Amino acid sequence: MTDRVYLDHAATTAVLPAVVERVAQQMGVLGNASSLHTAGRAARRVVEESREAIAAALGARPSEVIFTSGGTEADNLAVAGTYRRRREDDPRRTRLLVSAIEHHAVLDCVEHLVRHEGAEVTWLGVDEQGRVDPATVRAALEEAPDDVAVVSVMWANNEVGTVQPVRDIAAIAREFAVPFHTDAVQAIGQVPVDFAESGADLLALTGHKIGGPLGVGVLLARRDVKIQPLSYGGGQERQVRSGTLDTPAIAGLAMAVEHAVTHLEEHAAHLASLRDKLIHGAVGAGFGITVTGPHDVGDVVRRLPGTAHLRVPGCEGDSLLYLLDAAGVECSTGSACQAGVPQPSHVLLAMGISEDDARGALRLSLGHTSTDSDVEAFLTALPAAVERAQRAHHATRGSER
């Protein structure tokens, strides 16, 4: 277990040592940021300085930073909170425009609103590269502009790494005066993210994807966007998200965000170099492996630099995952939140990939601890794993006949 290779950074990545120290130091300091005495004011100062640091790094105003428990809560607050408030103000606002490749933090929230709160959803399709065409968004808004509550399209996909034309989509949504939400959980630290320049009204991010702590995230929300709370209590965070603020985690998150933005260019270049080496080696291994998603063109980044999504014919992704794991290489078949579910990825199906092809998927995601030797270890372990997985697959198919 000592020489294991970790290639699942899109699920979670190692906490930066400086963040560990910052969180540990703050955990030793007493104080509730909502208290008015000296200890409380000291904790509040840490929270507000962290809020200002995150805002500055991401092109937002401090008043637009709402602390949450992570990306899932931020997504739910953006989608459900905005839908409920918009519908309360205007009962006609029952429709949601949502991309078909969203993370389940968005998809399952939408499905709940449809089943239990009378919402309707228009699923925005994607092309074979997993990209939403802004014209599709415009057409859906023009169809019935007065009934849309919110538009949600993720900044970058968590499975295949496709980067979306967020600014174009946000501009269209703004033309129709409809709030636009983007899940930027995977984008922070890999591609430039500027909240003001993006034109988005709501943006979700989390700490544990960028070397920050687990259990803390942010919803960036413009001041003019009205959101109905999902929970009630002390009224912290603009009366939108109640709960005692986790001062140590917030301090660690701010440090991680600043680090991710400051080192973005060199980090992205390093990841892209490793990604391309991994893809080239896997495709050249002679098993008919194909790459899912777009290729970068010139200076246009169309795929996250740290994500490589491969499809291996004639085998099951889960089998590959376990065989690679046994060889000391840890990766994923897709979204970690859906691990173990025996259905092909909804992302791949939305991209027009057949169920059989989708079942042989592997997601390899790189992070700040990744090295050339990690890629080499994967490429060394891959042939034997593919051969065994293909034999098992053929044997299973033969017995079914």
The string of pLDDT tens digits covering residues 102-128 is 999 999 999 999 999 999 999 999 999
Residue from 109, 315, 331, 337 carrying the catalytic annotation: 337
- Residue of 31, 41, 46 whose CA lies nearest to 254: 46
Q: How far is CA 262 from CA 9, 212, 345, 372, in A?
A: 19, 15, 34, 23
pLDDT in tens, 306-350: 999 999 999 988 999 999 999 999 999 975 444 555 678 999 999
- Number of Cβ within 10 Å of residue 338's Cβ equals 16
Predicted structure pTM score: 0.95
How far, in Å, are 31, 92, 97, 232, 239 from residue 228 at the CA level? 28, 17, 19, 10, 9
Considering the chain, what is the average pLDDT of its residues?
94
Q: Residues for the chain: how many in total?
A: 401
Q: Which residues contact 303 (CB under 8 A, 6 or more apart)?
A: 160, 161, 162, 163, 293, 294, 295, 296
What is the average per-residue pLDDT within 140-153? 96
Angle at which helices 17-27 and 247-262 cross, to 10°: 160
DSSP string, 15-32: PPHHHHHHHHHHHTS---
Q: Check if 337 is active-site.
A: yes
Q: Which domains does the chain have, with CATH numbers?
A: 5-13+264-400 (3.90.1150.10), 17-261 (3.40.640.10)
List, in sequence order, every residue forming a beta bridge with 95; answer none if it has no partner.
120, 148
Q: How high is the pLDDT of residue 259?
A: 98
Q: How many CB atoms lie within 10 A of CB 243?
A: 17
Nearest to 217 by CA among 183, 180, 170, 175: 183
Give the percent of the chain with pLDDT over 70: 96
- For residue range 238-288, what is the model confidence (pLDDT) as tens digits? 999 999 999 999 999 999 999 999 999 999 999 999 999 999 999 999 999
